[in-house]
Amino acid sequence: MSGGHLSARIEKALGSRVTQSSALPVGFGLEGLELRLADGRHLAVKARSGRAGPSLEIEAYMLRELARLSELPVPHVHYADADLLVMDFIETDGGGITESLERHAGALIAQLHAAPQERFGYARDTLIGPLPQANPQAERWVPFFRDHRLLHMAEHANAEGSLPALLMQRIERLAGRLEDYLVEPAFPSLLHGDLWTGNVLVRGGRIAGFVDPAIYCGSPEIELAFTTMFGTFGRAFFEAYQGSMRLEPGFHEVRSGLYNLYPTLVHVRLFGASYLARIDQTLSTLGF
């Protein structure tokens, strides 16, 4: 989609003239723009060319659900359809993730997780990055994680040729024994679903916003594990989180690595074989 045509679409959708426009990196083959409108709005835009990639309406839905159901700071959605997402631009200052920022994040994520939801899964399927994320509603967490997270992603990776058969067999053996390792949470929690550093926006030593969600209702532990995968948050985050949400023993020692098999499989599908060693190491540590 040409920049001129995109600006014209946005002007028509929002009823205000574009006064400034610059490129914004957004990834996964999408076009991104940072815009200012004549009415003063400062906006971030994602657009897809043709019909390539998932519908951007799904990302808009996830942001609106987080805004509706939580106090998590997320960008307000101004307009969305399958090919276009227009939301608030969140100002950042390039600051790093400090101990005080980790504590702020820990308190926000604990608040998100503390509100009981009815069932695991969600009212509709969502996305993790550009990949479909199936969310059939379920009463128990461990079978949901086994079938719709671990095995679902592994089977797709194997079918696409990115996950070797021997690793697939080892994952299947683990899947048959998940009850030995995982615990059922007290209730389903709403999850952001993709808490790596690039999705955490910082300004003035505080969390300015969380973006690019992959929402569903699940165990808080899978979200907490994800924050350790690339070192997004550390000790201060977990201390603040546990100020209001209890963490069962064995999370850091065993369950964190097991849960991170899911996002690692996502990375295998998106970025290739360099992530296979992580899967092998985790399975070996667990005895598979």
Residue 3 has pLDDT above 80, yes or no: no
pLDDT at position 96 is: 86
- Model-level pTM? 0.95
Q: What is the residue-averaged pLDDT of the chain?
A: 95
How far is the C-alpha of 143 from the C-alpha of 178, rounded, in Å?
8
Q: State the average pLDDT over residues 259-288.
A: 97
The active-site residue, picked from 125, 194, 212, 280, is 194
How far is the C-alpha of 206 from the C-alpha of 104, rounded, in Å?
7
- Domain-wise residue ranges, the chain: 3-88, 99-286
Amino acid in position 1 = M
Residue 49 has pLDDT above 90, yes or no: no
Give helix then strand counts, H and E, for the chain. 11, 11
77-114, pLDDT tens digit by residue? 999 999 999 999 999 998 888 999 999 999 999 999 99
Active site residue 194: yes
Query: What confidence tier does 27 reach under pLDDT thresholds 50, 70, 90?
Result: confident
Regarding the domain delimited by 3-88, which CATH topology (the fold level of the hierarchy) does it fall under?
Phosphorylase Kinase; domain 1 (3.30.200)
Domain 3-88 shares a fold with domain 99-286? no
> What residues contact 211, with CB distance under 8 A and at least 6 apart?
74, 75, 90, 199, 201
For domain 99-286, give the CATH number: 3.90.1200.10
pLDDT at position 259 is: 98
